[in-house]
Every structure is written in structure tokens, then in C-alpha cells.
Chains A and B, each alone.
Chain A
Amino acid sequence: MGCEITTKKRQGIINPMYDCQPAGAQYAGIGIKDCIPLVHGGQGCSMFVRLLFAQHFKENFDVASTSLHEDSAVFGGHQRIIDGVLTLVRRYPDLRVIPVITTCSTEVIGDDVEGNITKINEMLKVEFPDRKVHVVAVHTPSFKSSQVGGYSQCVEAVIKNLATAKVKSNGKINLFPGWVNPGDVVLLKHYLSEMGIDGTILMDTEDFDSPMLPDKSIHTHGRTTVEELAGTSGAIASVALARYEGASAAEYLEKEFEVPAHVVSTPYGIGNTDALLRTLSEITGKPIPESLVKERGLAVDALQDLAHMFFANKRVAIFGHPDMVIGMAEFCLEVELEPALLLLGDDNSKYKKDPRILALKARANWDMEVVCNADLWELEKRAKDPDYKIDVILGHSKGRYVAIDNNIPMARVGFPTFDRAGLYRHPTMGYRGAMLLGEAIANAMFAHMEYTRDREWILNTW
């Protein structure tokens, strides 16, 4: 009994859980309206990340590359940054923001991105006197952190570049959801709207799920505008839902412009959602409406049918982004699932001291392990171990073969979930997300009972 917090002992990685920093920066960048991120590196650094986004969302996103080659490795890639930005501005007349995202190669070469941007700004002023394009340096060497940190870096860099002055108070809340699905963004906006709160979502990815329309217009892009980004300094407060994905930008706004930053528990599960709504209510003075009490009730009602009958004593392995993994573990405890194995996939030393992890450790009266800097081989080894019991896996599609080969039911959550249809559309956060997640776990278990003929007759009368 009890919880052990360890770190992967191997140096190398077999089957990574996260992509590198520039991938995360690109994800944050595409959340901005009228923005095309420009990745300063080899062409693969953007091409594959675009493919990854397309796999997850079944949508195309625009990300450009400076197409770095040998000559730049020798002489520097300055001209390619300049050419890249100017080509984008010339060919895309609506473009307003270009994050210039560095990679391992250009950080090793040591290209002076800021210096080049100063030069570019002068050139843009001459060529486009009536147009303002914000070119933002985002330093994301791939040999530091991971896609998680890269996401945070880009959000922070964009805020720092666009929120440059304290603007008049606009009564809004800055809401930093972290790296979430459009389904979560829609849910969070719904909460704000039900409570009568005006909010800026950073970044607003609702349209990452976009329609096929009769007029063939394409609306697959972020919705957070330059004006909204500039207005974040005039908000009444910032609420960051993910400590490792965007909270640093909220903290910057507090330090620089006295916008109070609230870093709340990531709202997975009922209790965490309660805490978020109470925080929003306290900040704004607006009451939590009846409608949300009802939504909450629906979720508790649905989960009550599953918890002590099906979920109790089931051991769950969870992997993915740190805030999500921790939030999922907290959710598990609400429905009597045992979060037995938590895998956090980069070398961020803060995870071990995260108060939420320590709280889980303090509560653990079951066998529990937290592995930091983990890869999916850590999961696979345990799944193959006959003495190590895993009943359910919660994680993204990169771990699918651990479930398939070891015959363990798996509910897909997080990013990417390319091997299931439409998951990006559904929330995982909030009451509704908790309900849908609980039902997804239950249905994965039920299908497994049927395929393995494991007491499938229980469901004859459920």
C-alpha cells in the first residue's frame, strides 16, 4: 500500500509520450486568429507536426517552415527567417501574427532571432505602412522540456509581445485552458456564458472542429484575436487551468499588470470543476446558476451507476500531459477507480513536488506508482508483467498497442487520439466531460467483457 514516486532509470526512450518543444509551440500558435507560425528549422519540424494535428483533428492547419539547409547550418539562417516572414506577409494579406518558432538546429547554430525580427519590422514598415504584423520570437529548442513546455513558451511569448501596456479594465476573465480539445473550449465558454462572465480564451480552439459548407469556405483556425491578446492586461483576473500549460503567462500578467492569477486544479472530475466554478464566482461576484447545478447532477447521477458496481477496485494506468494525468487521477478517486500508475513524460523536476501529486500520495491506501520522465515502454513492461495488475488504461493513441497486445481495455483521452472518431469534439473537462469520460471507460470495459467472454452476462440485466 502507498505511493512511490520514481523516475525512469533508462537514459534512452522507447516510445515517447510527448513530442518536442516546437510541436507544442506550433499548437499554441495555431490557436491565434490570422496567424501562421513559422518554424525556424528543417522542414520535418513543421511537416510532421502538421500531420500530427491533422491525424488528431482530421483537419488541416497552416504552419510554415524556413526550410533550413546545410548553407544555413554553416552561415546562419538569418536570410531564411527574413524571407520566410516576408513571403508569408506578401502572400497572406490577412495575416497579423507570425510566431517564429526555433528548433534544436537553429538554437545550436545560434541564430539571432530577435535581431532579425527588428530588421524585419523595419522592412515591413516600409513595404506595408498600413498593416501591422506581429512577429514574435518563440525559443523552443527541442533538447529542453517537451511539447508541454513548448506550448507554454509560445503562449507566454505571444502574451508578452502583444500585451505590452496596461489597457483600461475590460471586466473580462483571461481563461488559460491549456492544451485541450475544442470540446473542452466549447464547454468552458458555455460555463462562462451561463454565469454571465465575459472571457478571453487563450487559445480559443473551438473552430479546430470546422464544417464542410456549401460555399466551400474554410474556417479551420484559432479564434483568439490580436485585440483579445492585447486586452489581457486589462482583465479583472486570469484563471489558468493547467499549471504546466499556460499558467506562466497568467503569472506574467499578474507581475507586469497586476492582473490577479488564479492557478486552479485542472477541472477534470466533479470536485475540480466545483472549485473552478467557485473561483469564477468569487472573482466576478456572479452566482453559480441553477443550470450548472443541474448539469452537475446529471453527471453525478450517471457516474453513480458505474462507480461502486463496475469501477471499484479497478486499477487504472494513466499517461499523457501532466495536468491531465493528475486531473484524471483525481477524477478516478471520485468514482472509486484506483489510479495505480501515473506516467509523466518529460524531465520537468517540478512534477515530483506538485502539491496535487503529494496529495495523491498522502491519500493512497492502494498500491500506486508515479513515474516521471516516463516513456510508454514503462507502461508496456508493467502491462506484460503477470504480477502487475492493470485493469484499464487511460491515455492517447500512441499507447494503443500496449492495450491491444496485452488485452487491456483502454479509453482514449488527451492528445493525440487519432485512432478513435470524433473525440476532439467532446469535453473531458467539467461535469459533462467527467460524465462522458466515465461512460467511455465503462463502455471500453463492457466491450472488453464481451470480447473476452468475461462475465459479459452481467450486462444482460444492467
Chain B
Amino acid sequence: MPMVLLECDKDIPEREKHIYLKVDGEDTRDFLPVSNAQTIPGTLSERGCAFCGAKLVIGGVLKDTIQMIHGPIGCAYDTWHTKRYPTDNGHFNMKYVWSTDMKESHIVFGGEKRLEKSINEAFDEMPEIKRMFVYTTCPTALIGDDIKAVAKKIMQERPDVDIFTVECPGFAGVSQSKGHHVLNIGWINEKVGTLEPTITSEFTMNFIGDFNIQGDTQLLNQYWDKLGIQVIAHFTGNGTYDDLRCMHRAQLNVVNCARSSGYIANELKKQYGIPRLDIDSWGFSYMEEAIRKICAFFGIEDRGEKLIAEENAKWKGKLDWYKERLKGSKMAIWTGGPRLWHWTKSVEDDLGVQVVAMSSKFGHQEDFEKVIARGQAGTYYIDDGNELEFFEIIDRVRPDVIFTGPRVGELVKKLHIPYVNGHGYHNGPYMGFEGFVNLARDMYNAVHNPLLKLAATDIRVKEVVAYREAAE
């Protein structure tokens, strides 16, 4: 039986459709977990909401933009200090969050006036900032505040500011994925094409679906600089509001995270005829392939080969040192969705690591098609995994390390399994050649953490071997 009903799910048998154990000879034409479906209430799922998919994942990355959250205070508080996306201007995006702090009277009488006041206050308090995203939340969507009208009024009164509205309450869709979609489509329809870029190179592209986690964007940018390619807009790592208005002028859209940002690439193709090129930015073999594909598009293959050779000369030896020591290690990946298929084959090819279980919070059908095609037999592929399922899966596959978020990391610590932050990284960046060496190093340091042996030692038992080994 390739679809698996876990013991802990006997009271929610519909979960069987979400958990797949790959067997040799099978592929996604035979079995595909159900995904992007509603979560069963009370299951302790890992999912967030659509609002956070828009604000926390995409909009909040921008380095020059006020993020005004129209709702009670929690939605602002909770999407602040939970991400690691620095910028080259002192991390404005991570330092501040803005809220209209809705109270009961605004729920009863409407919150548009308060929104208008809060927007004006924010621009007045930070006069150097001229750009803003405004988000609805559950209650402001339910009471029907017209945030677009408010934004329009303010843009008329303050001609030097520009405001983008995102109508994406937390209850929309089944996960954060819905928020990615709403923001993508809103931006292309309302803002792309409203500004013209300065073109500085004969080769131009947009880099889409990378959020500068611990400096990913900045690391990859060194490559594009060396290749002589101008990145018109980063969607949205270390990005600016105005750069994103110029996306229509790129010759190519390079897409890393297809789940969060594939929508805008599709629309740019449809509306402006700009081709879409999907790449993987994690891992040596994938990064080489990505550089080759991009360079082939621009006809600068020689530059690409030179860059690949340089980077390999610099980093391959270090990677191999870790590969030698990591091969055969068992890894689990419990993250959002795309990193499952970005990572499973790259850690296998570049590091000799076996990915034994993967769970996706918000992946769609095509994410599971990709990951099952790239992943191994004997591996579990789980949609929207929950806590009890994680315990059971850990018992079955016994991973040496889990790439997941900090909270789940704290949970599995008690089971003596180290985690590496699969969202914000431990010590990144992880993209590109240098980045993958960082990932390998963090994985090595996790798997070989001496405390794990000490944790397993019961001092009441006359056995000092583990203790000695750890000390050595």
C-alpha cells in the first residue's frame, strides 16, 4: 500500500490520502498525495495563514517599504522578528512593523478613517520613506473596509507616495500559499509597468522567488554581476518597491521559488511575452545547471563556464570534505513546500545524504510531482504533516538531522535529533556554491554535535563509553 494510514491517524482516516511512501517502480502517475486542501481542525498542523504568506514571506522583505497592517495588533506583532532577511540598507524591513491597531469601535463603525490616519502618521513619522503596502486582515475583510479607496485618496493628497494594497485575510485559502498568489497577481496587475528602469546592460533579467534569506540574494548577485547581467528586479530579496514596478522590461524571468512566485512569472510571460526559466539555486550541480541555462539564453556560455570553474576551484574541495563525512546520513525536510524538491536531490548528489521523510506545509500538486520524481524510494512524502504524525514518522525512518523551523526543532531536540533551520537557516546563506558549503557545514556540525551522545547517556547505568566518546 503506497498511501499510508499512520497509527495516530486512525481517527482521521482521510489523512491516508496525504501520506505517500514511494516504492521502486512507482511514480506520480500512480500515486500523488492530496495537497492544498483544508486542514482537519485540531490536528496541530504546521500551517500559517494567507495574510502571513503575503506580508511575512513576500511584501515584508522589501527594504524601502512601510508594511501597514490594517487590523488588530496581533497580525503585526506576529509577523515581526520571525524572519532572517537582511538588506543592504540596515535592515529597515526587519526593524519595523506598522498596525492600525483596530479596536471594537472600528469593527462596529468601520476602520477606514483609522487606516487613513495611520497611513498619514506613518509617512509623517518616517518622512524619508515614500512607499507602502497595506494589508487587510480577517476582521477588516469581514467588515468590508475599502482599503483601495483609502490608498487612492492618500496618493492623491500625497503625490510623492505610492501605495499597494493586498486584500488577503488570514482565513482565505487553506494556507499561506493563498497569500503568495494574491500578492503576485495584485502586483502584476496594478504596479508592473508603472515605472521605467535605467538599463545598464545588454542582458537583463528579473530574479523571482528568492527572499535574501541570510543574504542569498546578495550572494547570487555576485554571479550575475560577474556575468554582466543586470537584475532589474529581485522579487523580493533585498528588493525595492520601484524596481518591482519595472519588471516588464526584463528579457528573462529566472524563477527560483516557483510556489510563492511562479504566478508573477507566468503573468509576465502572458502580458509582456517575457520567457520564464525555472532554476534551482541550492547545490553545486543545480547551480551549475542554472548558470548554464541562463548563459545559454543570453549567448554568454563562455562567461558561465569561467564562473563555474572559478567557483568550483574555490569551494568544491570544502564541499567534498563535508561529503566524505556526511555520506549515508539520513535527513528529513519539514518545510513549506518547494525546498523539498530543491534539496532532496542536491543533498543526495552533492553530499551523499539520504532524504528519508519530507513534509510540506503548503505545497501544491506540482510540488509533489517534482519531489516524488526527484526523491528516493523508501521515502515518506507528506502533505500538511502534524505533530503526532511527525513522532510516528521519526520512529519509522530515524533521521540523523531534520531541516525544519525552530519550534519543531525544539520538539525533536527532546528526541535527540538535531535540527537545522530549514526556513531561516542556521548560518547561511545556503544558495549558490559558497552557500551549499555553509549548508553542508551546518549539517555536519548538527549531526556530529557531541551533546547528542551525552543526552543519550543515563548516568545511573554503569556505562561510560558514550561519555568518553563525546569528550574525545
Q: Closest residue to B175 on the A side, CB-wise?
A: A43
B156-169: CB near A (< 8 Å → 1, else 0) gives 00000000000001
B127 interface residue per 8 A CB criterion: no
Which of A50-58, A232-240, A268-276, A288-296 has 4 or more CB atoms under 8 Å from chain B?
A50-58
Task: Kindly identify which residue among B11, B39, B47, B104 contacts A143, using a CB–CB cutoff of 8 Å.
Answer: B104
B391-408: CB near A (< 8 Å → 1, else 0) gives 000000000000001111
Is B71's CB under 8 angstroms from A104's CB?
yes
Is A11's CB under 8 angstroms from B121's CB?
yes
Is A45's CB under 8 angstroms from B74's CB?
yes
B77-101: CB near A (< 8 Å → 1, else 0) gives 1111110000000000001111111
A22 interface residue per 8 A CB criterion: yes
User: Given A15-B97, A44-B170: A105 and B142 within 8 A (CB)?
Assistant: yes
B349-393: CB near A (< 8 Å → 1, else 0) gives 000000000000000000000000000000000000001100000
Is A18's CB under 8 angstroms from B73's CB?
yes
Least CB distance, B135 to chain A, in whole angstroms:
12
A206-236: CB near B (< 8 Å → 1, else 0) gives 0000101111111010000000000000000
Which of B18-26, B251-259, B311-319, B453-461 has 4 or more CB atoms under 8 Å from chain A?
B453-461
The distance in angstroms between the C-alpha atoms of A81 and B42, with both chains bound, is 9
Q: Closest residue to B124 on the A side, CB-wise?
A: A10
User: Given A14-B98, A54-B407, A143-B106: A66 and B388 within 8 A (CB)?
Assistant: no
Least CB distance, A344 to chain B, in whole angstroms:
14
The distance in angstroms between the C-alpha atoms of A91 and B11, with both chains bound, is 7
A444 interface residue per 8 A CB criterion: no
Is B171's CB under 8 angstroms from A70's CB?
yes
Within 8 A of A (CB), among B45-89: 45-52, 68, 71-82
The residues of A that contact B95 with a CB separation of less than 8 Å are 15, 401, 405
User: Given A62-B44, A84-B42: A216 and B170 within 8 A (CB)?
Assistant: no
User: Given A67-B47, A87-B43: A143 and B139 within 8 A (CB)?
Assistant: yes
The residues of B that contact A114 with a CB separation of less than 8 Å are none
Task: Kindly identify which residue among A21, A22, A73 contacts B142, using a CB–CB cutoff of 8 Å.
Answer: A73
The residues of A that contact B80 with a CB separation of less than 8 Å are 15-16, 398
A308 interface residue per 8 A CB criterion: no
A72 interface residue per 8 A CB criterion: yes
Is B139's CB under 8 angstroms from A45's CB?
no
User: Given A20-B74, A52-B78, A105-B171: A65 and B457 within 8 A (CB)?
Assistant: no
A376-407: CB near B (< 8 Å → 1, else 0) gives 01000000000000000000011001000100
A23 interface residue per 8 A CB criterion: yes
Is A67's CB under 8 angstroms from B411's CB?
no
Is A20's CB under 8 angstroms from B51's CB?
no
The distance in angstroms between the C-alpha atoms of A63 and B407, with both chains bound, is 12
A167 interface residue per 8 A CB criterion: no
A49 interface residue per 8 A CB criterion: yes
Is A87's CB under 8 angstroms from B42's CB?
yes
Within 8 A of B (CB), among A1-56: 10-16, 18-23, 36, 38, 41-45, 47-55
Is A69's CB under 8 angstroms from B45's CB?
no
Is A12's CB under 8 angstroms from B117's CB?
yes
Least CB distance, B9 to chain A, in whole angstroms:
8
Task: Kindly identify which residue among B12, B174, B416 contacts A212, using a CB–CB cutoff of 8 Å.
Answer: B416
Is A398's CB under 8 angstroms from B81's CB?
yes
Is B99's CB under 8 angstroms from A103's CB?
no
The distance in angstroms between the C-alpha atoms of A23 and B75, with both chains bound, is 11
User: Given A19-B73, A108-B139, A143-B104: A91 and B97 within 8 A (CB)?
Assistant: no
Is B81's CB under 8 angstroms from A144's CB?
no
Is B122's CB under 8 angstroms from A214's CB?
no
B185 interface residue per 8 A CB criterion: no
The distance in angstroms between the C-alpha atoms of A55 and B405, with both chains bound, is 11
The residues of A that contact B416 with a CB separation of less than 8 Å are 212, 216
The residues of B that contact A12 with a CB separation of less than 8 Å are 68, 98-101, 114, 117-119, 121-122
B143 interface residue per 8 A CB criterion: yes
A85 interface residue per 8 A CB criterion: yes
B306 interface residue per 8 A CB criterion: no
The residues of A that contact B75 with a CB separation of less than 8 Å are 20, 44, 142
B289-322: CB near A (< 8 Å → 1, else 0) gives 0000000000000000000000000000000000
Residue of A12, A55, A81, A347 with most chain B CB atoms under a 10 A cut-off: A12
Is B99's CB under 8 angstroms from A16's CB?
yes
Number of interface residues of B (CB under 8 A): 78
B128 interface residue per 8 A CB criterion: no
Least CB distance, A381 to chain B, in whole angstroms:
8
B138 interface residue per 8 A CB criterion: yes
The distance in angstroms between the C-alpha atoms of A217 and B413, with both chains bound, is 11
Task: Kindly identify which residue among B41, B81, B98, B125 contacts A66, using a CB–CB cutoff of 8 Å.
Answer: B41
Least CB distance, A271 to chain B, in whole angstroms:
33
Task: Kindly identify which residue among A45, A51, A90, A213 contacts B406, using a CB–CB cutoff of 8 Å.
Answer: A51
B219 interface residue per 8 A CB criterion: no
User: Given A45-B170, A91-B388: A143 and B78 within 8 A (CB)?
Assistant: no
B103 interface residue per 8 A CB criterion: yes
User: Given A141-B104, A142-B139, A401-B95: A73 and B82 within 8 A (CB)?
Assistant: no
Is B11's CB under 8 angstroms from A90's CB?
yes
Is A72's CB under 8 angstroms from B413's CB?
no
Q: Closest residue to B407 on the A side, CB-wise?
A: A54
A314 interface residue per 8 A CB criterion: no
Is A11's CB under 8 angstroms from B43's CB?
no
Task: Kindly identify which residue among A42, A63, A401 contacts B49, using a CB–CB cutoff of 8 Å.
Answer: A42
Residue of B11, B40, B72, B122 with most chain A CB atoms under a 10 A cut-off: B72
The residues of A that contact B228 with a CB separation of less than 8 Å are none
A162 interface residue per 8 A CB criterion: no
Within 8 A of A (CB), among B102-146: 102-104, 106-107, 114, 117-119, 121-122, 125, 137-139, 142-143
The residues of A that contact B407 with a CB separation of less than 8 Å are 50-51, 53-54, 60
The residues of B that contact A21 with a CB separation of less than 8 Å are 74
The distance in angstroms between the C-alpha atoms of A109 and B142, with both chains bound, is 8
Is B41's CB under 8 angstroms from A84's CB?
yes
The distance in angstroms between the C-alpha atoms of A38 and B103, with both chains bound, is 23
The distance in angstroms between the C-alpha atoms of A73 and B388, with both chains bound, is 29
Least CB distance, A213 to chain B, in whole angstroms:
8
Is B139's CB under 8 angstroms from A51's CB?
no
The residues of B that contact A214 with a CB separation of less than 8 Å are 455-458
Is A20's CB under 8 angstroms from B42's CB?
no
The distance in angstroms between the C-alpha atoms of A60 and B413, with both chains bound, is 10
A59 interface residue per 8 A CB criterion: yes
Residue of B41, B46, B96 with most chain A CB atoms under a 10 A cut-off: B41
The distance in angstroms between the C-alpha atoms of A103 and B72, with both chains bound, is 10
User: Given A16-B99, A398-B81: A105 and B73 within 8 A (CB)?
Assistant: no
Is A87's CB under 8 angstroms from B41's CB?
yes
Is A83's CB under 8 angstroms from B42's CB?
yes
The distance in angstroms between the C-alpha atoms of A315 and B356, with both chains bound, is 56
User: Given A11-B121, A104-B139, A214-B458: A64 and B42 within 8 A (CB)?
Assistant: yes
B415 interface residue per 8 A CB criterion: yes
A333 interface residue per 8 A CB criterion: no
A86 interface residue per 8 A CB criterion: yes
Which 5 pairs from chain A and chain B are nearest by CB? A12-B118, A20-B74, A42-B170, A44-B49, A84-B41
Which residues of B come within 8 Å of A, CB atoms? 8, 11-12, 38-52, 68, 71-82, 95-104, 106-107, 114, 117-119, 121-122, 125, 137-139, 142-143, 169-175, 387-388, 405-408, 410-411, 413-416, 455-458
A/B interface sample: 6 pairs, CB < 8 A: A22-B74, A42-B51, A62-B44, A142-B71, A146-B73, A214-B456
**Extra contacts besides A83-B41, A104-B137, A108-B138 (5): CB < 8 Å:** A20-B74, A21-B74, A48-B78, A218-B414, A347-B103
